Amino acid sequence: MSRLRRFRNVVRIGPVRVGTANDNRGREKHTAACTAPRCGFSTEYDTRSAAELAARTHRCPIT
């Protein structure tokens, strides 16, 4: 079972939130997740710039 992640440096870009956390092996990972209902977009990246780019280019199929 994975432990809960404690996100830091969370930024909101449109409906997408980008946050930084450490994974189970202690590596720093950056996550971009859409907060719109029923969207389901969530991805994990090695670099912060890649996560922010994904947040800026994300288009919700719901709205």
Q: Which residue has the tokens 């709205």?
A: 63
pLDDT digits (tens, 9 = 90+) for 30-59: 999 999 998 999 999 999 999 999 999 999
pLDDT of residue 1: 44
Using the predicted structure, report yes or no on whether residue 63 has a pLDDT greater than 70: no
Cα angle 9-10-15, degrees, rounded to a multiple of 5: 160
Residue 51 domain boundaries: 8-57
Residue 2 lies in a domain: no
Domain presence at residue 1: no
Q: Note the pLDDT tens digit of each residue in 2-36.
A: 567 788 999 999 999 999 999 888 899 999 999 99
pTM of the predicted protein model: 0.84
Helix count and strand count (H, E) for the chain: 1, 4
How many structural domains does the chain have?
1
Asked if residue 53 belongs to a domain, the reply is: yes
Does 62 fall in a domain? no
Assigned domain for 24 exists: yes
C-alpha span between 57 and 24 (Å, rounded): 28
